[in-house]
Amino acid sequence: MDLFLKSAYDEACLGRDEGGIPIGSVLVIDGEIVGRGHNRRVQNGSAVLHAEMDCLENAGRLTAEQYRRSVLYSTLSPCDMCSGAALLYQIPKIVIGENQTFQGPESYVQSRGTELVIANDPGCIELMQKFIASHPELWNEDIGEE
């Protein structure tokens, strides 16, 4: 697994071990991780801190120029909200661990000029499959489904 994707995966495992939704993310600039995070719905009672949002929040206030040479890594295909955050800050590239258990608005994001790399990593897929099977209500809540 790509080293940075592995760091996102480690964040997802941290979230799982806290009893949370196992999705992780890191933000990389010039080959260095400047922010990392994982889904905080369960831990913080948060409706907005998906992994990518937590990662961007933890990276702090960056300049437009910094975002525009960054790469966002996420273990799962970013949802509408997280894709929107990447578009807002014009993050040029997103590396996605997998899009088999969930797929965000990838075509739209690409149409706006963002490069997507889909790893479909077996470890990322297994992590989500196990979670969705064991906590379907929590998963549906996180993606706005009934």
Contact between 84 and a second copy by CB under 8 A: the answer reads: yes
CB of 10 to a second copy, least distance (A): 22
Q: Could you say which of 11, 52, 115, 141 is catalytic?
A: 52
- How far lies 106's CA from each of 97, 116, 140, in Å? 13, 8, 20
Rule CB under 8 A: choose which of 19, 80, 120, 126 binds a second copy. Answer: 80
Name 117's Cβ contacts closer than 8 Å, sequence gap at least 6. Answer: 93, 94, 95, 96
Name 98's Cβ contacts closer than 8 Å, sequence gap at least 6. Answer: 75, 76, 77, 118, 119, 120, 121, 124, 125, 128
> Which amino acid is residue 133, in one-letter code?
A
Contact between 92 and a second copy by CB under 8 A: the answer reads: no
- 24 vs 54: CA distance, rounded Å: 9
Binding track over 110-139 against a second copy, x by CB under 8 A: ------------------------------
- 54 vs 114: CA distance, rounded Å: 20
Contact between 59 and a second copy by CB under 8 A: the answer reads: yes
Catalytic-residue membership of 52: yes
Residue 96, helix vs strand vs coil: strand
Contact between 5 and a second copy by CB under 8 A: the answer reads: no
Contact between 146 and a second copy by CB under 8 A: the answer reads: yes
Rule CB under 8 A: choose which of 45, 113, 133, 134 binds a second copy. Answer: 45
The residue ranges that bind a second copy (CB under 8 A) are 41, 45-49, 53, 56-57, 59-65, 67, 79-85, 87-90, 105, 108, 140-141, 143-146
